[in-house]
Chains A and B, each alone.
Chain A
Amino acid sequence: MMHISIGVSGAVLLAVVSAPVQAQTDYYNTDAGRPVLMEDAYALERRGFELQVAPLRLTRSRAGVYTWGVEPELAFGIFNRTQVEIGMPVAQVDQRAGGGLGISGVEISALHTLNVETSIPAFAIAADLLLPVGRFGPPRTYVSLKGIMTRTFPAFRVHVNAQYTLGSSVTNATGAPIGAAAQNIEVSRWVAGAAVDRALPLRSLLMTAELYARQPIVVGGSVELNTGAGVRYQLSPRWAMDAGVGRALSGDDHAWFLTGGGAYAFGLPWRAR
């Protein structure tokens, strides 16, 4: 049963920890979870769409349970400096954890860039709504609020993220069947951390690394320290690819993850009035 809880928690982790996906077209504008969790403060271009086509994520817990996830998402630059996004993570859980394929919730999010960086850093605010949809979805709706800051230096950028999830903590942690085992959610009460990235502009390549802490929303859960690193690469004007790796340095699970995917950008038709 421990395996079950670990596996399912991994599935929900896909949905929530990497959930606030703020998609952008090119390699330089980072998205949460693509490949690292910490992201920059810039919204998708106005009138632009971005489709995360096949963003794969493989998580391995310390107990050896594997969880595969695909997180198709569609983002749209709906207003000036504002994007909305909808995503529906799908998870495949290891047989040892009960096994199965299921949806890990439906996520709707919005991000608004407050300002462009000058001598003042760039700031953004974001809100996420995770709906209890699917076999591995959370037991209830969760709302998260997030603040983002981006500061650029000559050789690198720093992105500071802080997120807080509203709603009551969960006490039922383990020992339940899969459906209910989602009670053992990996929804974080809070997440805070920073990423540093460096671009190789002539190669359209971005290297990034992050360190962040998260407090699970489970009562009594200990604070986890996580790290990750990855690259983003502009394959063509429409396609940006990413790949990354990460690990929980502390906490109960010490899970590893690998991720890779591609985002396709396209625009909204327009006609002069």
Chain B
Amino acid sequence: MMRGILMRKALEKAMLMHAMLMRAMLMRGRRMGGAITRRVAPALLLAAAAQPLRAQWVTTFETFYLAAPHNWTFRNSYQSADRLFNAFDYGHAILYETLWRKPGAPAAELEVRIYDRLTKQVLVRPPSVPLEEVAIEPMYARLAPEAKAMFDWSHVLHRQIYDVLADERLDGAAKDAEVARLIAYYKTRPDLTFSSKPKSMELMQEQPYSLAFRQKYPKFNGLIWGYHWFQVGLYEPLLVGTTSEERQAGVRRTVARFWQMLTDVPRTLPHQMPMTAAIAPQFAARYPEAAIIFDNLHSMHDVVSDILTNPSVPRNRKRAEIIRAARMFRDDTSYVMPVAAWRVMSLEMGVENMGGPAVGFDVALPTPTVSYGAVMQHDRQTGRMTGMTVGTMTVDHAGMSHGTPATPAAVDHTGMNHGAPAAPSTAATVSAAVDHAGMDHGPPAPAAASVTASSIVLLQKRLLADSVIRRRVMADTSLRRMLLQQADGLGERERVELRTLLTPARP
């Protein structure tokens, strides 16, 4: 109480001094002549007003997409998938418009009313042409036109790469050359270009405003992550397919997979932001720059949602925060991590938590191994997981079953030591970054005691020699982590052999 009184007194004293100063200035002004005061006062007012006005004077502009023979090929060849992208445009735009225009609206506005409209109408009967997003989000576009232009420009790149990969007239080398040309064209607008350096998840998840959106609107957030899964995931069947028919079938499967994600939300929606290197590894290996740009783009989508949702960012600061975040996503210095670390981080986040791989998946959706929207921390140099600040692991590692749906109850991991950063490691020797020493893994299976180390290695080698099994194991970070832990108890030679088999292939 005494402290409060002292502070109030100090404040009063400061105000008094300020008033005296102003008075002295006015008196001086009068002595110098009223004319000067009359001139100076409006000038001061103008100067004060000029700062916010200058901040609002925006001169961004649009550039036409790269004209090429492959323009709109994807639209013509994969109509149903292409139309979903048009519907996604609407989903992104209506989200921002609602968050900005209806800050006090109940969560049901987005979680129920708009979500239902999107999933039961717009996605079911998607528009036939790309939408003009500014017509959907006019007030948001007024708030941050620079950020909107960044999204638009990157969406153009997104779409043009589908065109290239869908163009049956182009062979592999020609596709590579065209993607390189598209990226070069994209970079002709440095004022709009997302950095092609990977950014740590700290930029997205550990800012003062972070997580507000996923926590208040988990279903809608999951839907947006589902969109992002589809947007980057769809590159994979176009790349993996070796014939037109295979590509068509692959795209159809990926489209069906997206719909599968909407069957029991939010359980079936991604629990983490889909990372391109995890869900579309072939695309990320072949076009890493594009993959990084898209991950940064999708991160910024989440950041804008958080800024707009979080009431701790005052309304008159929303624009400034969005512009600040946009600048950090454009530059090549903020929160940057090595490309190898980005790959490791993407895998450590767990593809099963992102909706699973975009091709070669099981009939059932993968079971997430973390609670919805969990925040993992990663070493920025290695990408290895160092801890989890929000959320929990959700599977019992003693008896993991990836074929069944996740149970809502999270396992109590209080005994886990997530705080200590993992020792530096290369991607080639990635092992479990989490100290599971405190975990109760339950008693070992009776049969396990009788199995020798060499027979374990032999068995695992045989299993991992099967490319399908290996791909699935690699896609399941928890399973892979367990196998790596198991390898720790083996002899040097066996450990190296097993680790080699469990190391992601380098591009």
Contacts and interface: CB of A to CB of B under 8 A. Distances in A.
A270 B185 contact: yes
Given A46-B61, A118-B145, A204 B129 contact: yes
Contacts of B101: 154
A269 B67 contact: yes
Interface stretch (A109-117, A126-134, A254-262): A109-117
Nearest to B52: A119
A48 B58 contact: no
B229 to A, nearest CB: 23
A143 B122 CA distance: 48
Interface in B236-254: none
Contact of B57 (A115, A266, A272): A115
Contacts of A157: 138
A270 B130 contact: no
Interface string B122-165: 10000101111011101101110100000000000000000000
A117 B139 CA distance: 10
B136 A201 contact: yes
A77 B138 contact: no
B63 interface: yes
Contacts of B61: 43, 45-46, 80-81, 113, 116
A118 B63 contact: no
A264 to B, nearest CB: 13
B335 to A, nearest CB: 27
Interface string A133-170: 00000000000000000001110010000000000000
B64 A77 contact: yes
Interface residues of B, number: 38
Nearest to B145: A116
A206 B65 CA distance: 23
Contacts of A115: 57-59
A66 interface: no
Given A48-B64, A199-B135, A268-B67, A118 B129 contact: no
A26 interface: yes
B72 interface: yes
B64 A268 contact: yes
A202 B123 CA distance: 11
A96 interface: no
Interface in A20-39: 25-28
A199 B127 contact: no
A45 B290 CA distance: 24
Contacts of A235: 129
B65 A267 contact: yes
B257 interface: no
Contact of A28 (B57, B93, B134): B134
A47 B185 CA distance: 12
In this complex, the member of A81, A152, A202 whose beta carbon has the largest number of chain B beta carbons within 10 angstroms is: A202
A119 B56 contact: yes
B168 to A, nearest CB: 20
Interface in B42-69: 53, 56-68
Nearest to B185: A270
Interface string B64-103: 1111100010010000000000000010010000000100
B82 to A, nearest CB: 10
A92 interface: no
A47 B143 CA distance: 26
A100 to B, nearest CB: 39
Given A201-B90, A202-B127, A118 B135 contact: no
Contact of A118 (B65, B142, B181): B142
Nearest to B101: A154
B184 interface: yes
Contacts of B65: 267
A13 B62 CA distance: 32
Contacts of B60: 116
In this complex, the member of B62, B127, B138 whose beta carbon has the largest number of chain A beta carbons within 10 angstroms is: B62
B458 to A, nearest CB: 52
Contacts of B185: 270, 272
A152 B142 contact: yes
18 contacts: A26-B132, A45-B63, A45-B64, A47-B63, A48-B64, A77-B64, A116-B61, A118-B58, A118-B142, A199-B132, A201-B90, A201-B93, A201-B136, A202-B122, A203-B127, A237-B72, A238-B72, A267-B64
Interface of B: 53, 56-68, 72, 75, 90, 93, 101, 122, 127, 129-132, 134-136, 138-139, 141-143, 145, 181, 184-185, 319
Across the A-B interface, give the 3 residue pairs with the lowest CB-CB distance, nearest first: A267-B67, A48-B64, A199-B135
Given A201-B136, A237-B129, 13 more contacts: A45-B62, A45-B64, A80-B61, A81-B59, A81-B61, A118-B57, A118-B58, A120-B53, A204-B127, A204-B131, A269-B67, A270-B67, A270-B185
